[in-house]
Amino acid sequence: MGFGKYCRITAMSQDSPLSRLIGGRYQLEHRIARGGMAEVWLASDTFLHRQVAVKLLKPHLANDANVAERFRREAVACAGITHPNIVAVYDCIEHNGQQAVIMQYVKGKSLRELLDKQQRLGPKLTIHIGMSIAAALEEAHNKNFIHRDVKPGNILLTPEGKVLLTDFGIAKAMTSTEDDLTHDNIMMGTAKYLAPEQVRGKPLDGRSDLYSLGLVLYECLAGKVPFLGESDADTALARLQREPTDLARLRPSLSPQLVKIIHKLLSRNPEHRFATGYETKVALHSALTGAHDKTTELTPPTGITLEEEVLTPREPIRPVTSPRGEQRQPRSAPPFALRRMFVGLLALSLIAGVALWRVSGNNTTELAAVPEPAAVVGPVTIASISTFDPLGDDGVENDELLPNLLDGNATTMWSTSCYDNQYFGSKEFVGLVVQLNRASTGTLRVGMQNAPWAIDVFASAETAPTDINQWGDRIDGGYNTKRERASFVVSTPAQFILIKIREAGKSANCSASNPYQGVLAGVAFTEG
């Protein structure tokens, strides 16, 4: 089976490299990366008038029929994976025997470049990267596809803070399992991120990728990988012989919860790791509030940026111990004895409040009436979110993506279907209904990831009408030609809020015939 079974075969232009037109449509501009297996070029898609990245397999590998076939098979498989945190594969071609994959062009830098410059990252940014890659792996694993080469060099970060995973299976596709540790052109630089079962040549599943992700996050926080030998083989084998150094010793300021999550990912036994990318993402999200910078905002206005303020300044990478060798506790943590005393006093006060006895003037004992304390009202939160169909026919608009609006991850998206115009075809609008846990006033924030956009906001105190005419007058709205985090004021108490999206811009995820799509990164509500 040849490369051209699923990939187009065209003739290579004989012009200079900087003016080559490949595939009849991709104009190579300049090389942006070079590796042992392939070169990556920035190119212009002359049909769709957009920039793309072209990965060209090196000729000495392209001449190997088995390698070329694996490259083709992996490229075709990658093209079937669509996710906001995965670099998209658009096309695969063959030019005069040289194979190429056409991919989404990502403006930014690799995590490898960032770590080489910064050495260590802050816990907030590290969690953000981990959640994004875990979400990408969840999608790939659901498609029965294993990455097998999760490493900082294959993680891309944009200036806006978007995190994308690239090179799905390509590096692994270049060689067989038996050659993973010995082929200099294939595994160089990747042995540091292999799972133990990968080193042993055992069958792999999605948990192998999660182990590699754990190594990446460990390096982000510790400034170094836990296993490093004199050679790639020594580095790979080290994880079979010992456990990684306790991350808490290298960076005592980290929350115990975050440390525990990363060490669970690094369990030598796959059964002891998180089972799925989704479980990993949920665990990392729960660690957000325990991060060193006390992050409380789950959906930053424009995503997490790569500005210096989100990075933790470099500190000496060394164990920090007390004189007796015990790990120091954070200063904010009160001594256990004081906490126990406080809990005891609180319990006594509650008992006294429930039953206070007094002696009346006639020496009879009676129970004094004690006013009940005012009910504690918890914070206002978003209880659920659902789509609103203005036509009343199918009522569905990518409902499976709705959890992405509430997961606290600015890189996971909900999107509308793709339409032939910016006004959603024959629909008046596309709507979302936000239900709060109780009626409240406050500010609704919507992360708009496409532009231009136009939104009207409606509110209801007790019910969520199914007819748009029953929602009453618009309470707020806005229009902008830029991607931004839009804010809308809910000035009267409401438990149900309708987000009426009236206009959306073009999206790279849609076809040329239906190019318009609304894309949201998150929805949040603040009381007051």
Q: What's 131-166 look like in SS3?
A: HHHHHHHHHHHHCCCCCCCCCHHHEEECCCCCEEEC
Positions in the chain whose pLDDT score sits under 70? 1-19, 36, 70, 73-74, 77, 169-189, 228-232, 236, 289-377, 391-396
State the DSSP H helix or E strand holding residue 209, giving kind and residue range, or none if neither.
helix 206-222
Length of the chain: 528
pLDDT at 295: 32
Give pLDDT, residue 5. Answer: 47
pLDDT of residue 379: 86
- The helix/strand/coil state of 523 is strand
> CB neighbours of 294 closer than 8 A, spacing ≥ 6?
none
Predicted local distance difference test score (pLDDT) of residue 424: 83
Enter the CATH code of domain 109-174+189-310: 1.10.510.10
pLDDT of residue 10: 56
Q: What is the pLDDT of residue 184?
A: 37
Superfamily, domain 3-104: Phosphorylase Kinase; domain 1 (3.30.200.20)
Does the domain at 382-527 match CATH 1.10.540.10? Answer given as no
SS3 state at 467: coil
Q: Say whether 526 sits in a helix, a strand or coil.
A: strand
Greatest Cα pair distance in the chain? 113
Rounded to an integer, what distance in angstroms lies between the CA atom of residue 33 and that of residue 201? 30
For residues 60 and 26, the answer to whether their CB atoms sit within 8 Å is no
Q: Which residue has the tokens 């409606």?
A: 458
Rounded to the nearest 5 degrees, what angle is found at the Cα of 375, between the Cα atoms of 369 and 378? Answer: 165
The per-residue pLDDT for 115 is 93
Helix extents (H) in 287-411: 336-354
Based on the residue annotation, tell me whether 149 is a catalytic residue of this protein: yes
Catalytic residue among 45, 149, 407, 476: 149
Sheet holding 89-95, edge to edge: 8-10, 89-95, 98-104, 50-57, 38-45, 26-34, 21-22
DSSP state of 357: E
Q: What is the Cα–Cα distance from 23 to 17, expressed in whole angstroms?
A: 14
Asked if 411 and 135 count as a contact pair (C-beta separation under 8 A), the reply is yes
Segments making up each domain of the chain, as ranges: 3-104, 109-174+189-310, 382-527
